[in-house]
Amino acid sequence: MKAPIGIGLIGSGRAGRIHARNFAGRISGAQLVAVSDPAPDAAKTTAEEFGVDASYEHYEPLLENGAVDAVVVATPTNFHRDIVVAAAARGKHIFCEKPMALTVEECREMNEAVAAAGVKFQIGFMRRFDKSFREAKEAIDDGVIGDVVLVKSLTHGPSTPQRWMYDVAASNGPLAEVSSHDIDTLRWFTGGEVVETYAIAGNYRCPDAREEFPDFYDNVVMTTRLSNGLQGVIEGAVSVGYGYDARVEILGTKGVLFVGSLNESRVSYCTVDRGVGATAVKSWRTLFIDAYEHEGQSFVDAIAGDSETMVGGIDGLRAVQIVNAGNESIGSRAPVAIDIN
Ligand SMILES: NC(=O)c1ccc[n+]([C@@H]2O[C@H](COP(=O)([O-])OP(=O)(O)OC[C@H]3O[C@@H](n4cnc5c(N)ncnc54)[C@H](O)[C@@H]3O)[C@@H](O)[C@H]2O)c1
């Protein structure tokens, strides 16, 4: 029997801990063998929780660890480029959380490093591994709604952003952190590339950011024209409070398709006091819990079978390019063309 692929986790925060849980026991053919995180006790705590011996503050010794065949990069986005380039240079296969990086130039550098090393590279667009999203994609490909005309994708997150996200120049803002997923879905469902976008944005729910970060927006709407003539609309919001809301509507020439629901369960109720009620989805952690596991399994299968990953560096790069065009459009109040050549 083949030895399991050794996984090193770099960054053990919110996303990293989901991957730790999956690679520590739920994904076949892989084993979590090391964790690194510079925050006090973070790596040690995660390593202990998931039965891992090796924990480090810095990612360099993790990359030197011979038991690590592949890394999962789940640090804040501004570290992705340096870590991915360093991991590729050590011949490690790489799973990198979205957004791939902050600039297209960084993405190019990462893709070149990965290609030169001949390692596998996957970006964390886990909606491509979600059961409902996959069913929708299959229905689209089977022509169930005729030819696709318009994809409308929205994500609303419940929580107020961490302070670093308020600085849009440093974080690329909610378009990057939240709407990257919708952007990837748009490309996936239309089969086209975004060639033009116009975006408007504003800050409606985060008054504490207004003075120091006047560019910060908590609500954004982005219209897009695709290379194959199709249309796309993306709507993103943070700090909505009511729950985690991820829904897509796809309009075709012969019908319409809806993906996702705000309802956490299939149970709803009606009471004398409150009328009709249901429980809202609270977090991406629960909504996409299976998708995170499936994306991890797909990554490991690509390594074991020496096949292409299902979401690669070009998908990551395109999403970053569209995010940046959207932010430019918000600033200039004008449509922005995107060069896809
Ligand atoms: N796919 C998804 O649905 C999803 C969900 C959440 C976050 N993310 C992405 O995952 C990444 C991390 O986000 P998060 O919400 O988990 O952030 P977080 O702040 O909760 O965790 C980040 C962790 O990385 C650590 N870290 C910082 N620098 C490091 C370094 N040089 N080496 C190792 N660890 C380092 C921090 O100490 C922290 O523990 C971001 O790119 C984010 O966009 C993706």
Model pLDDT for residues 145-170, shown as the tens digit of each residue: 999 999 999 999 999 988 888 999 98
What are the tokens at 296?
């991890």
| CATH 3.40.50.720, the chain: domain bounds | 5-125+290-311
Res. 141: pLDDT tops 70: yes
Q: Judge contact between 187 and 315, C-beta under 8 A.
A: yes
Question: Phi and psi dihedrals of 305, rounded to 5?
Answer: -95, 5
**CA-closest candidate to residue 88, choices 121, 55, 58, 61:** 121
The CATH class given to the 5-125+290-311 domain equals alpha beta
* 8 Å CB contact between 117 and 286: no
Helix 80-89 vs helix 104-117: crossing angle, to nearest 10: 10
Output DSSP code: residue 115.
H
- What phi and psi, each to the nearest 5 degrees, are found at residue 312? -110, -165
CA 118 to ligand 1 centroid distance, Å: 25
Packing angle, helices 14-23 and 289-304, rounded to 10 = 60
The pLDDT of residue 197: 98
Angle between helices 14-23 and 42-49 (to 10 degrees): 30
Residue with tokens 């408007």: 200
pLDDT at position 268 is 85
CA of 224 to the centre of ligand 1 (A): 29
pLDDT (average), residues 190-217? 96
Structure tokens at 327: 């932010």
Structure-derived torsion over alpha carbons of residues 76, 165, 179, 192, reported in degrees to the nearest 10: -70
Nearest to 222 by CA among 252, 282, 287, 178: 178
Predicted confidence band at 198 (pLDDT cuts at 50, 70, 90)?
Answer: very high
Distances (CA, A) of 168 to 113, 159, 239, 324, 330: 27, 17, 16, 10, 11
The mean pLDDT value for 197-224 works out to 96
Any atom of ligand 1 within 6 Å of the Cβ of 14: yes
Q: How far, in Å, CA of 245 to CA of 288, rounded?
A: 12
Average pLDDT over residues 128-147: 98
Among 8-12, 41-45, 283-287, which stretch is predicted with the lowest mean pLDDT? 283-287
**Which whole number is the average pLDDT over 8-29?**
97
Cβ burial, residue 268 (10 Å; 0-12/13-18/19+): exposed
Ligand 1 center from residue 290 Cα (angstroms) = 19
Q: Is the backbone peptide bond immediately before 99 cis, with ω within 30 degrees of 0?
A: yes
CATH architecture observed for domain 128-288+319-337: 2-Layer Sandwich (3.30)
Whether the pLDDT of residue 255 is over 90: the answer is: yes
Q: What is the pLDDT of residue 341?
A: 87
pLDDT at 80: 98
| Mean of per-residue pLDDT scores for the chain | 96
Q: Average pLDDT of 100-105?
A: 98
**pLDDT at residue 164 in the model:** 81
Residue 130 beta carbon below 6 angstroms from any ligand 1 atom: no
Please report, for residues 32, 129, 296, the alpha-carbon distance to residue 291 in angstroms, rounded to integers and kept in the order given. 18, 5, 9
Instruction: With a cut of 80, say whether residue 74 has pLDDT above it.
Output: yes
In the chain, CATH 3.30.360.10 sits at 128-288+319-337
- Ligand 1 mean position to 307 CA, how many Å? 27
Average pLDDT over residues 219-225: 98
Q: Using an 8 Å Cβ cutoff, are 156 and 179 in contact?
A: no
The span from the CA of 215 to the CA of 167, in Å, is 8
Task: Take residue 109 and report the two structure tokens written for it.
Answer: 């550098």
Distances, alpha carbon 170 to alpha carbons 79, 102, 164, 216, 292, in Å: 12, 8, 8, 11, 27
Q: Does ligand 1 have an atom closer than 6 angstroms to the CB of 11?
A: yes
pLDDT at 209: 94
Q: What's the gap in Å between 267 CA and the centre of ligand 1?
A: 34
pLDDT tens digits, residue range 3-15?
899 999 999 999 9
Q: How confident is the model at residue 264 (pLDDT cuts 50, 70, 90)?
A: confident
Tell me what percent of the residues of the chain surpass a pLDDT of 90. Answer: 91
What is the predicted pLDDT for the residue at 1?
Answer: 66
Q: Which of 12, 14, 82, 123 for a ligand 1 pocket mutation test, highest count of atoms within 8 Å of Cβ?
A: 14
Task: Check residue 266 and give its pLDDT.
Answer: 81
